[in-house]
Structure 1
Amino acid sequence: MDEACRNCPALCETRTQVVHGYGDVGADFLFVGERPTARADETGVPFAGAGGSDGDGGLRRMLERLGLCAVDSPAERPELENVYLTTLTRCRDPERGPTDEEVDNCEPFLNAEIRMINPEILVPVGERTLAELGTEYTTTPVDDLTLPEDHAQRIRGRGFELVPMIDPRDQTDDQTQAWLEAFVELMASDYRQTKGRRER
């Protein structure tokens, strides 16, 4: 992974650092966001500070509740088990989301991480990420993949199962609870049999 990537000149001027993936490289669960958060740009850890007002973020609290993140681990270096975190793009502009060209420029990094981790479950976080991963990894027409309709739903893909999530910063308490309950049920199931299925 290139720590000094210059593929997107505009983002090179606004980023603090390149934020590549972070977590358990043998994970079954891979969470993919759209771009680094402001806190991730500072710490180098994807999703840092994503949601909530306590600095740890809504996603971290969700991972703690699922037993995938050690509760007492430091915010800047959370101890993750069976989960890997990454984003479509590796650099942040504080004023805007990534352009299509910037997403395309980062696609080799994301593809390399997905091949390296070889997860069973992909968790697209947010509408943009769902569209990108849905196009690449499912046979479902991208127009049929939407949030909040597909929040906490299991979508069969090509070699993976997708469990989309509304961005933690935008979730209601009920939506958070619904996603957690669906994911607990998934974790208790024989989800490792999903690879190779092509139907939704």
Structure 2
Amino acid sequence: MDANQRSRRNPFGMDEQCTNCPELCETREEIVHGYGDVAAEFLFVGEHPTEGADETGIPFSGDERGEALQDVLRALGFATQEPGEEPEIENAYLTLLTRCRHPERPPIDREIENCEAYLSSEVRMINPEIIVPVGERALREVAAEYTTSSPEEFDVDTHHGEEIRGRGFEIVPMVDPAEASEEERETFLESFSELLGRDYRQTKGRRGR
């Protein structure tokens, strides 16, 4: 964690009383802003808070769905905490397209648009080397904003673990680890470990798209 960073939880001090989506204000327990290392080279982006994240206020935590991603982070060396503990993350930052949970449905387009400024601010301030969109919706939104290609060209199952050229960084999509097969999990770990094992800064912008 950066020496000047006081907290991993919402380190940029984003609005914790946001009322941009009145319907979600009535259903949420917590506003779930980003969490992690502000000097991170790797930014993981999910779609919306899970039930557990809505309780803890931390993306990808508090339940089995969140723990599946934490398990991947531990396997890659980004996290060191035991299962069920508050994440202890180095060189990675966790965030979401939307910051509030509706218990009966995924976020609608307007809610993602209302939260876009939070995500774009995090991307700008962190300036990561690699963005990892977790799941189909996250991939489509990240591709629309940070590549020169149409988001319809991307599919998380097809591009799982592959490097995609973004504007200023690489994008490496991940199938939602809570829904991934063991083979898909191992594929991602192998490809990402290979990326970590070479100087990925030298390859940025050289691949297609």
TM-score normalised by the chain length of structure 1 = 0.93
SS of aligned partner of 2:157 = coil
* Structure 2 counterpart SS, 1:103: helix
Which amino acid is the alignment partner of residue 161 of structure 1? E
1:1-200 → structure 2 map (5 Å cutoff): 1-49=14-62, 51=64, 57-72=67-82, 75-195=84-204, 199-200=208-209
Q: How far apart are residue 147 of structure 1 and its match?
A: 2.1
Contact 1:157 1:199 in 2 (8 A): no
2:30 touches 2:54 (CA, 8 Å); kept in 1?
Answer: yes
Residue 84 of structure 2: SS of its match in structure 1? coil
Q: Distance in 1 between matches of 2:143 and 2:80?
A: 30
Give the letter aligned to residue 78 of structure 2: L
Question: What is the identity, as a one-letter code, of the residue corresponding to 2:102?
Answer: D
Contact 2:30 2:100 survives alignment (8 Å): yes
Deviations 1:84-127 (A, max 9, x none): 00000000001100010000000000011111111000000111
SS at match of 1:17: coil
**Which letter does structure 2 place at the counterpart of 1:137?**
Y
Fraction of identical pairs, as percent? 57
When structure 1 is superposed on structure 2, of 101-110 and 62-71 the one drifting more is: 62-71
TM-score by length of 2: 0.89
Cα deviation digits, residues 34-68 of structure 1 (max 9, x gap) = 0011111100110114646xxx6111111111110
Whole-Å separation in 1 of the counterparts to 2:182 and 2:62: 17
Q: Which runs of 5+ in 2 are unaligned?
A: 1-13
Question: Aligned-pair RMSD on alpha carbons?
Answer: 1.6
